[in-house]
Amino acid sequence: MSEGKGLGAAGVPAADQGAASGVEAALPAAVERFLERIPPGARGLKRLLRRGVRLGLSHRALLEKAALALGLRGLAAVSSLLLNIMLGRALGPAGLGLYFLATTIARMLGLVGTWGGEQSSTRLVARARARGRHDEARGAAQTAMIICGAGSTVMAVLLYLLAGPIAVGIFNNPDLVPVLKAVAPLIVLHGFTLVIGGLFVAVERAGLAVFINALGAPLAGVIIYGFLVGERTLGTAIQSVLISTALTGLAGLALWAVIARKALGSGQAPIDFGPAFKSGVHLVLVTLVARAQEWMTVILLGILATATELAQFSLPNRITGLMMIILIAVNMTVRGRYASLHATGDTAGLERLARVVNGLTMVLAAGPTLVLLAFPGFIMGLFGDGFVSAAPILQLLAVTQWFAVSMGSVGQLLLMGGLERVAMRISVGCALLLLVALLIAIPVWGAIGAAVAAALTTVIQRIWTTMAVRRHMGIRLGVTAFF
């Protein structure tokens, strides 16, 4: 099989066969000397460090790819942070709230327009490639592009035409009308970047996927909004995000034309909408409902609270959300392999790989969490004096995100394992719980109430998903699986 090239019986790269065979890698002498200096009372720490080093040695190929993706994600996080600082200082809490609300609506509709294209394209292309059916893989990629173009265009036209009723009738904010009309093209642009990123994941080009889905647009946005626009207003902010996303999408299409020829060959590709529509029915609902928990909070704050309170929640949520780059970067590295291992029935290899991801993400997330907990006021003050009062929200969401990252890639396992119905039930249940919690908390406590509701729902969802992976796939993950 094409994607399985170089894989051993355990379903991991040949370079990683030490772990697959159950033989623990010998530690370098310098590492052993360092560990011997740890006091006897800290045996738990010594055991954790020893296990972590062995994981690195025995899964070097995986960690090298993850490190590249993580490094690019880190650059994307810095770019996003710089862009949000510029926006916060230029627009203030109220203006930033309108910007967040409009772009959230556009990105939500862009996801709908792809019809599950990001996840569906990854799964269908990776499965066909793993079985050596390169013509089928090329057809699945082209089908995803066609569906994305048609669906996202429809969504963009609808948003432009319905901008007035949405802004006035739902949010009671006439100032939102021109913003929604201006942001409508973002639906198409964002949709294409999602699908292209998913295709790069399917052929195990995680670095390119990170560039398209996370790095390109914010990096270009910093350059455009920071140095090229004349006046930093809400209008120029929307223009900047449109131009930067368009440039990223064009770069992604050009790169995919080259990569696809190398990874999948060339020639006639069968266009079959059946598998894409069938797969997309559940994947779009699962992804939409999962993301809707974040979007629902923004939407309800826009309806039930002020634009300032919306910004005071959204900004800490985006800052702590940057911690998810750890899990996302690793997932992009292994998501295609998850699908391949499941397709070939290698459950043992799948569990070993998932546990490596589990331990890696837990350790890497600890550092950023401690920084956010120690300096919340300073961090929020970077965006302007109007955001310092949101420091407690930053701390609460930081702890929540650490827990979410530490549970590993349980959601991806369900989706790549064909258990999207189970994932959808979990997502719908937690979305309903969040809806009830937000309707109670926002009118009484505003932004801090929204943060508490979001944190509670996130913890419940991660625990529920972990239990589902163990029940349906026989894979034990979560914080305790690493010890």
Per-residue pLDDT of the chain (483 residues; tens, 9 = 90+): 333 333 333 333 443 444 434 444 455 666 666 666 666 666 665 666 666 555 555 555 555 666 666 677 778 888 988 999 999 999 999 999 999 999 999 988 888 888 776 677 777 788 888 888 888 888 888 888 898 899 999 999 999 999 999 999 999 999 999 999 999 999 999 999 989 988 988 887 878 888 888 889 999 999 999 888 888 899 999 999 999 999 999 999 999 989 888 888 877 777 777 776 676 666 677 677 767 777 889 999 999 999 999 999 999 998 998 787 777 767 766 766 777 777 767 777 777 777 777 777 777 888 889 999 999 999 999 998 889 999 999 999 999 999 988 887 777 787 777 777 888 788 889 989 999 999 999 999 999 999 999 999 999 988 898 888 888 877 776 554 544
Is 133 in a helix, a strand, or coil?
A: coil
Burial class (CB in 10 A: 0-12, 13-18, 19+), 28: exposed
CA–CA separation, 475 and 26 (whole Å): 27
CB 121 within 8 A of CB 141: yes
DSSP letter (8 states) at residue 266:
-
Q: Tokens 């702890």, residue?
A: 399
Q: Which residues pair with 7 in a beta bridge?
A: 13
Q: Which two tokens stand for residue 199?
A: 């295709």
Q: Residue 405: which of 458, 351, 342, 483 has the closest Cα?
A: 458
Q: Which two tokens stand for residue 473?
A: 């796939």
CA–CA separation, 337 and 170 (whole Å): 43
CA–CA separation, 262 and 449 (whole Å): 51
CB 401 within 8 A of CB 369: yes
Q: Tokens 């959808």, residue?
A: 424
Question: In which element (H, E) is residue 69 found?
Answer: helix 60-113
Sign of the four-CA dihedral 255, 256, 257, 258: positive
DSSP letter (8 states) at residue 419:
-
- Cα(first)–Cα(last) distance of the chain, in Å? 34
Is 463 in a helix, a strand, or coil?
A: helix
Q: Which two tokens stand for residue 129?
A: 């490639």
Model's pTM, two decimal places? 0.73
CB 330 within 8 A of CB 365: no
Amino acid identity for residue 407 in this structure: M
